[in-house]
Amino acid sequence: MTNFDGLLLKEKIYETYISIGVNDATARFASESMVQTSLRGVDSHGINLFPHYFRSFQSGRLNKNPDFKFIQKKASTALLDADHAIGHHSGIVAMDKCIEMAEKNGMGACAVRNSSHFGASSYFGLHAAKKGYIGMAFTNADALVKSFNGKHSFFGTNPICFCAPLHGEEPLCLDMATSLVSWNKIKNYRRSDDLLEDHWAYDKEGKPVNDPHQAASLSPAGDYKGFGLGMMVEILCALLSGSVIAKDMLAMFTSPAEAQRQVSHFFIAFDIDSFINKDSFVESLTNMVHRLREEPSQGSEPVMAPGDPEKKTYPIRLADGIPCFDEIIAEYVAINPDFKKCLLKSN
């Protein structure tokens, strides 16, 4: 592992995208999201994916200059055709539309079709919450979570993100896959050849496995509850946008590089003042979070609010850099030798 300097890396990713003809906004949102996500410690959805996204722009899977088209029939709802933009960009365009509708009408929701992997859903929820709104973000993904009672996967890891502003600190941020653990965790266990914990994953026949190399599907979080929530996310994203469902979606890494995947998303923004005075809401929420953190702890870890671990990691990684696997750094350098200049030190 070697550490990238986050801010230098963000700039260099931006420049590298620009150098192959990616438009300014796409390059800006994609580089910002990747680095923010890794600074927050969410390694599965941050800078590790840059080489993959870069190749996807070159192969034509991702559109370097997407033409976003909104269809808006009523005041608080919209459908966005993202023209195969990288999801980091389409998500911001959609969330900004939600904020605009929320400002005017109290809330707004936007379904997005013809998009692609959007990185961490927290990027969009935080975008709204930093502007003072409650933001929610959802996406579907290719089938990877075993259906409850079934042998095979049916829905994706279909995350739910909920963010709200806090006083004196970054917003509250819940960002969770509806699977018990992420597929990336399974891949890390494959690298280290460690055994998976019970109930994490299943083999091709739907039987529980501990061998990470046999894992073919993931357990939903809370069994049928996570499975049901994954279905809710699928309906909001794929069906309200008129797109393909998880089971029919091309896999992110193993399908042809040029094939467009038709990922779909869903976003909601609530204008807090439309319900209750925003200042008193933020004060109540901040008080609740403080009370929660002061609850007696069961073990060595304190009681935390969603997003607290990421808040701890952020300043550390901002100072010490973002650790990255050497094989991924090699991919970076093969794309642009200048990425070497963004490295800080070896661990």
Which residues in 85-144 contact a second copy (CB under 8 A)?
101, 104-109, 111, 134
235 DSSP assignment: I
Q: How far apart are CA 263 and CA 70, in angstroms?
A: 17
**Of 140, 107, 161, which Cα lies nearest the Cα of 232?**
140
CB of 115 to a second copy, least distance (A): 15
Q: How far apart are CA 213 and CA 194, in angstroms?
A: 10
Largest interatomic CA distance in the chain: 54
Name which of 208 and 323 has its Cβ closer to a second copy: 208
Q: How far apart are CA 110 and CA 139, in angstroms?
A: 12
Name which of 212 and 226 has its Cβ closer to a second copy: 226
Among 82, 226, 252, 310, indicate the residue that binds a second copy (CB under 8 A): 226
Q: Is 345 in the site for a second copy (CB under 8 A)?
A: no
Q: Are strands 2-4 and 322-324 parallel, antiparallel or unpaired?
A: antiparallel
Among 196, 271, 321, 343, indicate the residue that binds a second copy (CB under 8 A): 271
Q: Is 77 in the site for a second copy (CB under 8 A)?
A: yes
Q: Which residues have a Cβ under 8 Å from the Cβ of 232 and sit 6 or more positions away? A: none
What H or E segment, with its residue span, contains residue 345? strand 343-346
How many other C-beta atoms can be found within 10 angstroms of the C-beta atom of residue 135? 29
Q: How far apart are CA 124 and CA 30, in angstroms?
A: 12
Q: What φ, ψ does residue 138 adopt, rounded to 5°? A: -140, 150
Q: Which residues have a Cβ under 8 Å from the Cβ of 207 and sit 6 or more positions away? A: none
Among 52, 55, 190, 247, indicate the residue that binds a second copy (CB under 8 A): 247
Query: Helix, strand or coil for residue 128?
Result: helix
Q: How far apart are CA 33 and CA 119, in angstroms?
A: 7
Among 17, 57, 123, 154, indicate the residue that binds a second copy (CB under 8 A): 154
Question: Which range binds a second copy by CB under 8 A, 30-38, 84-92, 242-250, 334-342?
Answer: 242-250
Among 94, 164, 201, 269, indicate the residue that binds a second copy (CB under 8 A): 164
**Of 76, 158, 108, which Cα lies nearest the Cα of 267?**
108
Q: Is 191 in the site for a second copy (CB under 8 A)?
A: no
Q: Is 298 in the site for a second copy (CB under 8 A)?
A: yes
Q: Is 203 in the site for a second copy (CB under 8 A)?
A: no
Name which of 203 and 338 has its Cβ closer to a second copy: 203
What H or E segment, with its residue span, contains residue 320? helix 308-320
CB of 168 to a second copy, least distance (A): 17
Name which of 239 and 344 has its Cβ closer to a second copy: 239
Name which of 92 and 272 has its Cβ closer to a second copy: 272
CB of 138 to a second copy, least distance (A): 12
Q: Is 231 in the site for a second copy (CB under 8 A)?
A: yes
Question: Which range binds a second copy by CB under 8 A, 41-49, 61-69, 186-194, 231-239?
Answer: 231-239
Q: Is 325 in the site for a second copy (CB under 8 A)?
A: no
Name which of 65 and 274 has its Cβ closer to a second copy: 274
Among 30, 166, 240, 249, indicate the residue that binds a second copy (CB under 8 A): 240
